[in-house]
Chain A
Amino acid sequence: MKKIMYIFTGILLLVIVSNKPLLAKTDLHGLVRSGQYSKEVLLGIPQPDTMKQSLDGVYNVGTYPLYTPELAPGEGLDMIQGYCNLCHSVTYITMQPPLSADTWEAEVYKMINTYGALIPEDETKRIIAYLQAYYTPETRKQ
């Protein structure tokens, strides 16, 4: 029995070291592939810890996490981070489909005229230019 275990362990180690599929195609009727693993390691989402609770009348869920993606680097990005980011995360930009240059201009003026964003005229133009440079159907890469 001990001998058999040694043999099994040996086979296992050989398989792991050689990194080849466990079974040849002919071993099992119909089986095309098995024992293949991705070379890349995908990172999972860490589980948050349970919120500490106490008998104080306060119902607390803690802070809300941010998952804000990076924006395309370029001229005007600092304006976006400074002004747009004040009332909402820039995920509001990356979440959109690529929008036309006209639509981006209208969106920025909607933020100013409708929602009351306080953005000086010069900065407004730079924000529009940035969005048109990186987030239209012709220019969007990421």
Chain B
Amino acid sequence: MTEKKLDPVSRRILLKMFGVGAAWLGLNKVSSVLAQVSGQATQQMPGFTGPEVNPSWGAVGPFVIFPQKLPLIQITDRPVQLETPRHYYLTPFTPNAAFYVRWHLEGIPNAVNLSEWRLFVEGHVGKRLTLSFTDLMKQFKPVSIAAVNQCTGNSRSRFQPRVPGAQWGNGAMGNALFTGVRLKDVLDAAGIKAGSLCVQFEGLEKGRGLTESVSHRYLKSLNLDDPVINESIVAYEMNGEPLPMLNGFPVRLVVPGKFSTYWIKALTWIRVLTEPDTNFWMIKTYCVPDTPHGNTTVKDVKDGRVNMVPVGTMPIRSFIITPDGSCKIPVEMPVTVRGIAFSGSGRVVNVEFSADDGKTWSKTRLGDDYGKYSFRTWETTWIPKHTGKYALAVRATDEKGTTQPDGEFWNPKGYLWNKIERQELLVDAAQ
């Protein structure tokens, strides 16, 4: 995302020198050409990181192009996992074309026929429903919610020792304004029968595994007594547009405050169950230690002292987006430091900034409030007083008083990372 522009003075002089000749050779485009072959671009990034921590903000990997998407950072190509680059987080809403992608099984929809596609509501209900896309848009009251969708393994490449899994940097997250129908309205229309316990969701995603193996179907459930049932929606619109195919067209489940593992893409089956859902995707993976904050150690896992439970709410996080350390900053220059914050457990009420590696903190200005499940932008003006190396840091606090940890953190699957983020940069002489 680095861009190196020829400063206006030297550009003017070059143009003056070349005059008509420059235009004739097309050399008046010199500044845009320079931007493409900046010093950094000639050095290839490593193909992998480890066994140390990934030092980059994002994942390492090539920029790749997929349908309906801008160039994103490739994690894997089959099934598709793509990371959003850092600078798309300067705005509270992440553009659909830049929104990260994460599928589990290789059978991802390429084409869906809406004249045949239906959403099925079945199981322990009074009346089975078969709803078309039009039924969803016309028969139910539309609702909108701004909500952060974050992969449970976001920032997994920060863990030490490293753990296997998708090696995300920080870009397995996005915020969108989702529009659709309340899950509760759909369930009420079907009529949940007494004795029901949970609702299971399944999409069009299928794997090559044998029909009943865990690598064939991806299934997730929510308990009916979970308050999130009343806040979840079946979304047919994302930021005012149809969902990109890779983000779950035609509809996806939106479960505000919870990790993305529950947000079933290309949602097609809703099943009301009378027994706990003990399928693999609920109880064998996407599980975290039942310890405070899901924190444990390699030794405790090896000694069998760790009890794993299904992951749920997203812990509070905040990020510095700019400055990103790609350029030095002249001493005494007022710099606008910008970023985002969010929490699954309550509205973000305070974001603090530190320019001394977390020793002292100051309040930042918060951006517009789009609801408690949305990204909240923040910014602050920082004037570096001396030259040298700085470690900027940011931490957020939500309305429940929850804030971010700064100590040792590890769990065997690489989930729930929310440590205080830092950005190193150099402040150099201004004269």
Contact = CB atoms under 8 A, between A and B. Distances in A.
Contacts, number: 156
A58 B78 contact: no
A39 B89 CA distance: 34
B260 to A, nearest CB: 19
A86 B20 CA distance: 60
A48 B65 contact: yes
Nearest to B74: A67
Contact of B48 (A37, A40, A89, A95): A95
Given A12-B21, A60-B110, A116 B64 contact: no
B66 A65 contact: yes
A91 B245 contact: no
A120 interface: no
B50 A64 contact: no
Interface string A14-30: 00000000100000100
B208 A99 contact: no
Contacts of A8: 18-21
Nearest to B81: A95
A115 B209 contact: yes
Most B CB within 10 A of own CB, among A5, A9, A97: A97
Nearest to B41: A42
Contact of A65 (B17, B64, B108): B64
B166 interface: yes
Contacts of A38: 37, 41-42
B61 A59 contact: no
Main secondary structure of the interface of B (DSSP, over half): loop
A69 B64 CA distance: 13
Interface stretch (B112-120, B338-346, B364-372): B112-120
B162 interface: yes
B195 interface: no
B112 A59 contact: yes
Given A45-B63, A114-B214, A65 B208 contact: no
Contact of B51 (A9, A57, A98, A115): A98
B71 interface: yes
A142 B46 CA distance: 9
B215 interface: yes
A91 B76 contact: yes
Which secondary structure dominates chain A's binding surface? loop
B30 to A, nearest CB: 8
B48 A65 contact: no
A140 B48 CA distance: 10
A42 B42 contact: yes
Interface stretch (B6-14, B182-190, B325-333, B386-394): B6-14
A38 B4 CA distance: 14
Contacts of A137: 50-51
Nearest to A45: B65
B77 A91 contact: yes
B151 to A, nearest CB: 14
Nearest to B13: A28
B67 A51 contact: yes
Interface in A81-128: 86-89, 91-92, 94-99, 103, 107, 114-117
Interface string B56-90: 00000111111110010011111110000000000
B10 A28 contact: yes
B210 interface: yes
Contact of B114 (A59, A89, A95, A103): A59
Contacts of B208: 86-87
A34 B78 contact: no
Contact of A48 (B21, B67, B213): B67
Nearest to A1: B20
Contact of B113 (A11, A58, A91): A58
B25 A12 contact: yes
A63 B19 contact: no
Nearest to A63: B110
A94 B48 contact: yes
Nearest to B215: A115
A116 B210 contact: yes
B284 interface: yes
Contacts of A63: 110
B110 A142 contact: no
B169 to A, nearest CB: 12
B296 interface: no
Interface of B: 6, 9-10, 13-14, 17-22, 24-25, 27, 33, 36-37, 41-42, 47-51, 54, 61-68, 71, 74-80, 105-106, 108, 110-116, 157, 162, 164, 166-167, 207-210, 213-216, 242, 245-246, 249-250, 280, 284
Interchain residue pairs A-B with the least CB separation, the first 4? A97-B50, A116-B213, A60-B111, A61-B67
Interface of A: 5, 8-9, 11-12, 22, 28, 31, 34, 37-38, 40, 42, 44-48, 51, 56-69, 86-89, 91-92, 94-99, 103, 107, 114-117, 137, 140, 142
29 contacts: A8-B20, A8-B21, A9-B24, A12-B18, A31-B10, A42-B36, A45-B63, A45-B65, A47-B65, A48-B65, A51-B67, A59-B111, A59-B113, A59-B114, A64-B77, A68-B77, A68-B78, A88-B106, A89-B76, A91-B74, A91-B77, A96-B48, A97-B49, A97-B157, A99-B162, A114-B284, A115-B214, A116-B210, A117-B215
